[in-house]
Amino acid sequence: MDYPHADPFGAHPLEQCPVSSDRNVYDSVLDLLPSEDNPSPMVRLGRANPWRETFPLYAKLEWQNPFGSVKDRAAWALLRKLEEADELSADRGVVAPTSGSTGLRLAAIAAARGYPMKSVVPNKVPLEKKVLLKMLGAELEVVNDNLCPSPGMGEGSIGLAKTFAKAQRNKWVMPNQYENEENTLAHVRTTGPELWRQTEGKVTHVFLRLGTCGTVSGLSRALKERNPEIKIVAATPTEGHDVPGLRSRSELGVSKLFDERQADEIIEIDHELAYERALELMRTEGLLAGPSSGLIFEAARIVAERQSAAESPDVPYFGVMIFCDNAFKYVSSFIKHRPELAENTTA
């Protein structure tokens, strides 16, 4: 297949309205996926950044991707890999353990392609995400994970997804997003080159969060190859957090993609601040930031303040924050952490 976005079941572009990215007319939602030529947008922070004169910060808005998250990239790469290996059909679908974000994108892409999808999610995943998975046609298996923190070992949802893939080989195949190299390569191929081109190579700091760690490993690889001086700063929530999709230090062992050396600095942040900073981004910048973006913003603030107080650098600072997804799916999490948001909402 020359054109990877083409419908494998044979639909043709409509002649009446020729596809043209210049006019934003596309043949498939998959054509909207980000790439070096179609990067997710970057927006400079204004009032929210008190150090904007010395340490400008830009937010790369991954929620502008067609399925609304940084995970669009990994999901597409994982599914393409399975397609290339001829693993998928209308009868044999994808089973994936997920905290929601990758699963949603896999479900959307599987729906666009016509493959069945089964998602195994931990119970703590917000209701919105669970229901969205079902809305996209995925079967849902909910696992009571988190019985006890068990550093370095697989969670129940990973085990159950593996079980389906093993016991029902003819029905399901599992793209293991926690181990699969494609997760990293998606960022080596797209996010890294995009960011480099968008900043004209001037980026000095990248701020991101640690989840399955594909972003940190892929961006670190892609950017350090271009300029080894670029600092990768990872934000991680404190233990016992409930910031969906993120991992604290002790939870990181689950991801085989993670290698501490990929980040120049890991900043542990009180998870309550994730919500506070996200609200600040909404109220001072109009950015509909989800809690993980709040966490990343706090890490960026810490570094911007510290570096602004230090001696002037040889090269001007240029920070880019990878904002993974927006606030819409996390309204109930916001209410839990800031109960006053729900006050006076009825007549």
Partner 1 sequence: MSEYAHPETLVTTDWVAEHLNDPKIKLIEVDVDTKAYDAGHIPGAVGFNWQTQLQDQTTRDIVSKDDFEALVGGAGVSPGDTVVLYGDNHNWFAAYAFWLFKLYGHEDVRLINGGRSKWLDEDDKELTQEVSSVTPTAYTAKPADLALRARLQDVLKIVESGGVNLVDVRSPDEFTGKVIAPPGMTETAQRGGHVPGAVSVPWAKAVAEDGTFKSADELRGLYLDAAGVAEAKPTVAYCRIGERSSHTWFVLKYLLGIDNVRNYDGSWTEYGSVVGVPIETGEPARAVR
Does 176 engage in binding with partner 1 (CB under 8 A)?
no
Tokens describing residue 177:
């997003």
- Going from the C-alpha of 298 to that of each of 171, 275, 276, 277, the distances in angstroms are 44, 10, 9, 7
Cβ-contact 156, 256 below 8 angstroms: no
Out of 10, 152, 228, 339, which residue is the one contacting partner 1 (CB under 8 A)? 152
Residues whose CB is less than 8 angstroms from the CB of residue 213 and which lie 6 or more positions away in sequence, other chains included: 247, 252, 255, 257, 258, 262
**Strand-pair partners of 205:** 231, 319
Closest to 211 in 3D by CA, of 292, 154, 275, 330 = 292
Give the residue, chosen from 77, 88, 121, 143, that forms a contact with partner 1 under the rule CB under 8 A: 143
Closer residue to partner 1 (CB): 164 or 334: 164
Residue 61 backbone phi and psi in degrees, to 5: -85, 90
Which structure tokens are listed for 282? 């909404």
Nearer CB in complex with partner 1: 44/124: 124
Size of the site for partner 1 (CB under 8 A): 27
Nearer to partner 1, 148 or 309 (CB): 148
Site membership for partner 1, residue 260 (CB under 8 A): no
Give the whole-angstrom CA distance, residue 233 versus residue 299: 8
Q: Near partner 1 by CB under 8 A, which window of 68-76, 101-109, 138-146, 202-210?
A: 138-146
Residues 289, 265 contacting (CB under 8 angstroms): no
Please report how close the Cβ of residue 263 comes to partner 1 at its closest, in angstroms: 21
Residue 171 or 202: the one with the smaller Cβ distance to partner 1 is 171
Site membership for partner 1, residue 154 (CB under 8 A): yes
Shortest separation between residue 151's beta carbon and partner 1, angstroms: 6
Stretch that binds partner 1, among 53-61, 69-77, 163-171, 266-274 (CB under 8 A): 163-171
Interaction site with partner 1 (CB under 8 A): 123-124, 141, 143-144, 146-154, 156, 159-160, 162-164, 166-168, 239-240, 242, 253
